[in-house]
Amino acid sequence: MSLNLSKKKTLLLDQILSKVGDLNFCRRIIQMLEYLNIKKGEVILDMGCGEGFYSMLISNLYDCSIFAIDNDRKILGQAERWLAGNTKVEFGRGDICKLNFYDNTFDKIICTEVLEHIPDDSRAVKELLRVLKPGGILAATVPNSNFPFAWDPLNKILGWLHLGHFNPKNEFFGGIWSYDHKRLYSPDDLSGLLDDNGFKVEDVKVLTHYGVPFNHLVLYLGKSLYTKLPVSAEVKNSMEKFKWDEEGKAKNGSIFSYLINLVFFLIKKVDSLNNREFSLETSSMAVAAKAVKR
């Protein structure tokens, strides 16, 4: 992949991603940056910004303006706290199906892991098209309906048995459906959704075929480690992706330090197998698309 970043910015990107434990998330980030190809002075919409990691990263790498929008008041408040004082990012609460922006406002839009949460995803895509400038780029990702067995064996087996899936509101068992996903997408599903609603799809990829068994549960338990257990501030900082610019290392000799380093080492070893482009028929954790407003 080519991101057209200077050596200094490339090193900064590596530093920012250094504490991201979800390596599928890292791959989505890199793919989105490649698709967007952000230029100086452009206006970017981070739709469904969540905690604001994409907005934070883009604001550190590019000279642009960013509008970070989410409909969840609680998570938007968290994003505002993480990015307090960042003058490149303007936050706002908004519904993807009814955005409070004029037509043709944005040069680029990033919408990653959002559409699967929206009951009417066609309406959402039409609204993204409306606020995007002609010739502007939409970079999007969604969870793949053809997900790898190792990533979520429980829901995969239920699917094979035609028994549906676990409750998507259950963070532990929900797996690929967690956080209230309404649907999963194949590459054709995502391409068709964008094409049917006015976009010209320029590229589609599947991302991250190889992962550790029960990858979702590993991440869930890792999050629990530093949010719920009585561990030191050093351990918490070593695992918090928003604190990439702090040392945040657990004390030498700490059992938590060894465990964290071991987990990261093993996950990165497995993830190195994903350093290739897969056919669209390959099972993967995500589908990514680049689409242009006609």
Q: 282 and 254 share a domain?
A: no
Same domain, 244 and 289: no
pLDDT at 243 over 80: no
End-to-end CA distance of the chain: 25
Residues 141 and 251 in one domain: no
Which pLDDT score is estimated for 223? 64
CATH of the domain at 22: 3.40.50.150
CA atoms lying within 13 Å on the CB side of residue 230: 0
The verdict on residue 49 lying in a domain is yes
Domain count across the chain: 2
SS3 content of the chain, % helix, strand, coil (to 5): 40, 20, 40
pLDDT computed for residue 205 by the predictor = 97
Predicted confidence (pLDDT) per residue in 87-127, tens digit = 999 999 999 999 999 999 999 999 999 999 999 999 999 99
Q: What is the mean pLDDT of residues 59-86?
A: 96
Structure confidence at residue 142 as a pLDDT band (50, 70, 90): very high
My answer on whether 33 and 121 are in the same domain is: yes
Local confidence band at 258 (pLDDT 50, 70, 90 cut-offs): confident
Residues 110 and 252 in one domain: no
Of 136, 142, 141, 47, the residue nearest 95 (C-alpha): 47
Residues 249 and 107 in one domain: no
Q: With respect to residue 121, please indicate whether it lies within any of the assigned structural domains.
A: yes
Query: How far apart are the C-alpha atoms of 122 and 131, rounded to whole Å?
Result: 15
Residue 110 located in a structural domain: yes
Residues of the domain holding 59: 7-147+184-209+278-293
**pLDDT for residue 248:** 47
220 and 139 within one domain: no
Of residues 258 and 239, the one with the higher pLDDT is 258
Q: Which residue has the higher pLDDT, 61 or 232?
A: 61
Are 77 and 106 members of one domain? yes
Q: Verify that 255 and 284 share a domain, yes or no.
A: no
Residue pLDDT, tens place only, 8-54: 999 999 989 887 878 889 999 999 999 999 999 999 999 999 999 99
Same domain, 129 and 266: no
The span from the CA of 94 to the CA of 19, in Å, is: 29
Give the pLDDT confidence of 193-202 residue by residue, as tens digits: 999 999 999 9
Amino acid 242 reads F
287 and 222 in a single domain? The answer is no
Look at the pTM and tell me if it is higher than 0.75: yes
Do 117 and 238 sit in the same domain of this protein?
Answer: no
Question: In whole numbers, what is the pLDDT of the chain averaged over residues?
Answer: 89
